[in-house]
């Protein structure tokens, strides 16, 4: 599980720094162990992929794929909400990406 507090990717503030886009990047112990190479820029990009332009309230949700430290892809469900000045996002682990093999 992870949490993020950042600007709305669609409405960045004047103080927004794209090299460090998240004011807070909160990670569970398990997330830190398995996804230590996932950067806040990668997570911010995932938020940008579904986030709306609204000023407040729900901004959207979506599935974001992140690679673990072994290179395996995993699906997370992200939900974002705005209090009109910060975007609050919760990312919840769902499952590894399923691989389909044709025979």
Domains in the chain, CATH or no CATH each: 2-96 (3.30.450)
pTM of model > 0.85: yes
Q: What is the CA radius of gyration of the chain?
A: 14
When pLDDT is cut at 50, 70 and 90, the band that residue 2 belongs to is very high
**Res 25: pLDDT:** 97
| Residue 2 CB contacts under 8 Å (≥ 6 apart), including other chains | 25, 26, 27, 28, 31, 43, 76, 90, 91
At 1 the three-state DSSP class reads coil
Structure tokens at 82: 């705005």
- At 100 the pLDDT is 78
Checking 7-14 for CB contacts under 8 A at 24+ apart, the result is: 7/86, 7/87, 8/51, 8/53, 8/59, 8/82, 8/87, 9/44, 9/47, 9/48, 9/51, 9/87, 10/48, 10/51, 10/52, 10/53, 11/53, 11/55
Residue 95 pLDDT: 97
List pLDDT tens digits, range 51-100.
Answer: 999 999 999 999 999 999 999 999 999 999 999 989 999 999 999 998 87
pLDDT band of 101, cuts 50, 70, 90: confident
| Residue reference for tokens 């975007």 | 87
pLDDT of residue 46: 97
């Amino acid at each position: 599980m992870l949490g993020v507090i950042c600007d709305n990717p669609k409405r960045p503030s004047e103080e927004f720094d794209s090299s460090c886009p998240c004011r807070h990047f909160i990670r569970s112990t398990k997330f830190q162990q398995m996804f230590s190479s996932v950067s806040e820029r990668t997570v911010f990009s995932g938020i940008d992929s579904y986030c709306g332009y609204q000023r407040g309230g729900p901004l959207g949700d979506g599935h974001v794929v992140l690679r673990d430290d072994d290179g395996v892809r995993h699906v997370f469900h992200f939900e974002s909400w705005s209090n009109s000045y910060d975007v609050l996002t919760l990312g919840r682990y769902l499952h590894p990406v399923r691989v389909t093999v044709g025979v």
